[in-house]
Amino acid sequence: MSTARLKMVGIGKTFPGVTALAGVDIEVGQGEILALLGENGAGKSTLMKVLVGVHQPNSGEIYIDGQKVAIQNPRQAHELGISIIYQEFNLIPFLSVAENIFLGREPRVIKGVIDWRQLYAQTTVLLERVGLSHISPKNLVDELSIAEQQLVEVSKALSYATKIIVMDEPTAALNEEDTRRLIKIMVGLKQQGMAIIFITHRLEEVGKVADRVTVLRDGRFIGSAAAQELSKDDIVRMMVGRDINDLYPERNDKLGETVLEVSGLGFKDHLKDISFRLAKGEILGIGGLMGSGSEYLAKVLFGVYPKVQGTVTVNGGKPIVSIRDAIDSGVALVTDDRKGLGLVLSMSVGENILLPTYRHLAKFGVLVDRAKHTVIIRKWIETLKIKVHNPSVEVVTLSGGNQQKVVLAKWLEMNPKVLILQEPTRGIDVGAKGEIYQMIKQLTKEGISIILISSEMPELLGMSHRILVMHAGRITGELLNEEATQEKIFMYATGGEVG
């Protein structure tokens, strides 16, 4: 490592009644990738918001290239060469790529008149830098894949003459192929002298790309070391303060009769002749690369799309053709977009837990038994160990793992027969993952059947009784747990055959 590009020394930050950061130190050099790790709620996001001027620290100092700086706001951070890419994209879908990258900073011919030729030329250079030369600056962001949108965010960060770039869970929504591509681009930026702070919950990525690792826990600095000096177990121990042996619990071996039957399911070009059965207490894994159709399968099974081919039935009942049918049949969906579709962020934790049950608890839109709904909220907070000091606080204030538990709570209160989990641990730290996996096992012991849709192969292998693999809208392979391997899943996911 060469000169220290960034030092944050003794950073402290408190909010009313909460110490978010207590004397945290981090350092990242020019041409270095620092993996900043910790469980949700460890203080990573707060520390980065201090760095980019969203929060003002109560104590501590920040140095850039050896010079002490006071960063009052995000604009000043940009002027100092600091950019951050948040986990949730900050792009406007109905604007072009060029307009998104230079929004509010467009080159002008004269005041009020955009120089479109220069705008597109500058955008083209940035897109080529991140491997998006096949994308036109005039393309609408809404026309791009998730992976391409992620790289547009990187281009936007680079447009600020960035020296320090923070990437907050940049691979969370990417499949393995797109993740490898992004990691390659990160290495290229490092070779150009960029200082990169890489926040991730995918520990297998740390050894592939990071030079050093810094770990936070409960708002405190725990330690820092060269990435090659730390094993995955070492990192987990630093993050959670204990060993996590057996991340994946033993599967429930008492499966019952068929609960869910799917026959000839088709939806536009996204799903083609999907058929399978799900037994009581079974965990059925669904794997596939981005665009395989699995993201549509979850919503079709839950009745989101009204006009589909084929049938979905529970216990031989009437076919599911709407969301109400699905709920009444005992099917629940924990979506992969918990912030956009799984929660109402402006509502409280308690209100979110009660959302699906309001029609049973209310009369004419008014809750008739407030004591009962208080008991329900308290039950799930205690059962799922949701970390919240008061259920009346807005759910947006919770960590990702605790938000996911709130989504689970609202559907478990409906006493489902079939629970569809779509990327249930995306963006969640290893400690919370372990808790959710144990919870899933307990649900299957109680007779609930699980459809686990995941892009993480270790999760599919560790949790599923069977794995169905999708490619181009079809099921291309079925593997029992004892015969499944990452290689076989990937082969089926790319449309190949396993010999």
- Can you give the three-state secondary structure of the chain, one letter per residue? CCCEEEEEEEEEEEECCEEEEEEEEEEEECCEEEEEECCCCCCHHHHHHHHCCCCCCCEEEEEECCEEECCCCHHHHHHCCEEEECCCCCCCCCCEHHHHHCCCCCCEEECCEECHHHHHHHHHHHHHHCCCCCCCCCCEHHHCCHHHHHHHHHHHHHCCCCCEEEEECCCCCCCHHHHHHHHHHHHHHHHCCCEEEEECCCHHHHHHHCCEEEEEECCEEEEEEEHHHCCHHHHHHHHHCCCCCCCCCCCCCCCCCEEEEEEEEEECCCEEEEEEEEECCCEEEEECCCCCCHHHHHHHHCCCCCCCEEEEEECCCCCCCCHHHHHHHCEEEECCCHHHHHCCCCCEHHHHHHHHHHHHHEECCEECCHHHHHHHHHHHHHHCCCCCCCCCCEHHHCCHHHHHHHHHHHHHCCCCCEEEEECCCCCCCHHHHHHHHHHHHHHHHCCCEEEEECCCHHHHHHHCCEEEEEECCEEEEEEEHHHCCHHHHHHHHCCCCCC
Q: What does each C-alpha distance from 163 to 140, 215, 339 come to in angstroms?
A: 28, 23, 31
Q: Does a structural domain hold residue 250?
A: no
pLDDT averaged over every residue in the chain: 87
- Which of 181-195, 301-315, 330-344, 462-476 has the lowest average pLDDT? 330-344
**Contact criterion met (CB below 8 Å) for 77 and 54:** no
Does residue 119 share a domain with residue 41?
yes
Q: What is the mean pLDDT of residues 128-133?
A: 86
Higher pLDDT: 457 or 378? It is 378
Which residues are CB-neighbours of 271 under 8 A, at least 6 positions away? 265, 293, 296, 297, 300, 308, 473
Does residue 299 share a domain with residue 212?
no
Q: What is the pTM of this model?
A: 0.61
Q: Which of 240, 271, 298 is the last residue of a domain?
A: 240
Distance between CA atoms of residues 335 and 411, nearest Å: 11
Distance between CA atoms of residues 449 and 254, nearest Å: 12
Range of the domain at 150: 4-240
Q: Does a structural domain hold residue 190?
A: yes
Question: What is the pLDDT, as a whole number, of residue 1?
Answer: 42
Q: Does a structural domain hold residue 195?
A: yes
Question: What is the pLDDT, as a whole number, of residue 455?
Answer: 81
**Contact criterion met (CB below 8 Å) for 451 and 421:** yes
The CATH number covering residue 188 comes to 3.40.50.300
Q: Does a structural domain hold residue 397?
A: yes
Does residue 28 share a domain with residue 119?
yes
> Which tokens belong to 31?
């041409």
Q: Does a structural domain hold residue 435?
A: yes
Higher pLDDT: 145 or 49? It is 49
Question: What is the pLDDT, as a whole number, of residue 244?
Answer: 54
Q: Does a structural domain hold residue 252?
A: no
Give the bridge partners for 68, in sequence order: 63
Higher pLDDT: 242 or 440? It is 440
Dihedral angle over CA of 245, 420, 422, 499, nearest 10: 80
**Do the bridges between strand 466-471 and strand 283-287 make them parallel or antiparallel, or are there none, so unpaired?**
parallel
Sign of the alpha-carbon dihedral angle for 295, 301, 302, 308:
positive
Q: What does each C-alpha distance from 441 to 92, 248, 446 come to in angstroms?
A: 40, 9, 9
**Per-residue model confidence as pLDDT tens digits over 191-220:** 989 999 999 877 888 888 999 999 998 889
Does residue 345 share a domain with residue 226?
no
Does residue 266 share a domain with residue 235?
no
Return phi, psi of residue 463, to 5°: -115, -25
Q: In this model, does residue 476 exceed pLDDT 90? A: yes
**Angle, CA 252 vertex, CA 246 and CA 258 arms, to 5°:** 145
Q: In this model, does residue 399 exceed pLDDT 90? A: no
Does residue 314 share a domain with residue 371?
yes
Does residue 141 share a domain with residue 54?
yes
Does residue 267 share a domain with residue 224?
no
**Per-residue model confidence as pLDDT tens digits over 235-277:** 878 887 755 556 788 888 889 999 999 999 999 889 999 999 9
Does residue 303 share a domain with residue 229?
no
Does residue 329 share a domain with residue 218?
no
Q: Does a structural domain hold residue 328?
A: yes
Q: What is the mean pLDDT of residues 370-388?
A: 84
Q: In this model, does residue 173 exceed pLDDT 90? A: no
Q: Does a structural domain hold residue 323?
A: yes
Distance between CA atoms of residues 49 and 43, nearest Å: 10
Q: Which of 240, 269, 299 is the last residue of a domain?
A: 240
Q: What does each C-alpha distance from 72 to 132, 165, 199, 310 come to in angstroms?
A: 34, 18, 23, 58
Domain count, the chain: 2
Does residue 438 share a domain with residue 465?
yes
Does residue 305 share a domain with residue 233?
no
Question: What is the pLDDT, as a whole number, of residue 38?
Answer: 85
Q: What is the mean pLDDT of residues 484-499?
A: 80
Q: In this model, does residue 363 exceed pLDDT 90? A: no
Q: What is the mean pLDDT of residues 311-328?
A: 92
Q: How confident is residue 174, by pLDDT bands cut at 50, 70 and 90?
A: confident
Q: Which of 240, 268, 293 is the last residue of a domain?
A: 240
